[in-house]
Amino acid sequence: MAEPTTRGQRAAEDRGWRLRHLPVLLAASAVLAAGAAVLGGVTGGGDAALGAALGVAVTVVSYSLTTVVLAWADSRNSQLVLPFGLGLYVAKFTLLGVVMVAVASTGWSGLIPLCLGIAAGVVVWTGVHIWWLTAVHARRTRA
C-alpha cells in the first residue's frame, strides 16, 4: 500500500506551481491597461491614455519580474528567496523613483494618469492574485 503524499511532496513534484498564476494575472492586467487607456483618452486625451496604460505596464513589469525571479530563486534554494526578494525590491523602487522624478521634471501632462495607472495596476494585480489563491489554488490543494 502506497503512503499518502503530503502537500509539500506534491508541490516538489509539480515544478510549474510557482508560475501557474501568472497567465491569469497578465490577462487581467491587459484588460485593465486597455480600460485605463480608454478612460484616460476620454477624460484627458492622448497623453492621459498613454500615461494610464504605461502606469499599468509599469506595475505588470515590476510584479512579473518579481514573480519570475522569486520562482527561480525558490526552485534553486528556498533560502535565496529573502535576499533576492529584498535586493529586487530595493532595485525596483530605486529605479521607479528615478524614473518618476525624471518624468515629473519634463512637465508631461500624462504624469497623473501614469500614477493612477500604477495604483490601479497594484490594486487589480493584488486583488486577482488573492482571488486566484483563495478560489482557484485552494481548490486544487484540497483535492
The pTM of this model reads: 0.83
The residues near 32 (Cβ < 8 Å, ≥ 6 apart) are: 56, 120, 121, 124
Residue 58 in this model has a pLDDT that exceeds 70: yes
- Neighbour tally for 117: CB within 10 Å: 29
- The pLDDT of residue 72 is 92
**Region of poorest pLDDT, from 21-35, 88-102, 109-123, 125-139:** 125-139
Q: Convert the chain into a string of H (helix), E (strand) and C (coil).
A: CCCCCCHHHHHHHCHHHHCCCHHHHHHHHHHHHHHHHHHHHHHHCHHHHHHHHHHHHHHHHHHHHHHHHHHHHHHHCHHHHHHHHHHHHHHHHHHHHHHHHHHHCCCCCCHHHHHHHHHHHHHHHHHHHHHHHHHHHHHHHHC
- Mean pLDDT computed over 136-142: 66
Q: Which residue has the higher pLDDT, 2 or 48?
A: 48
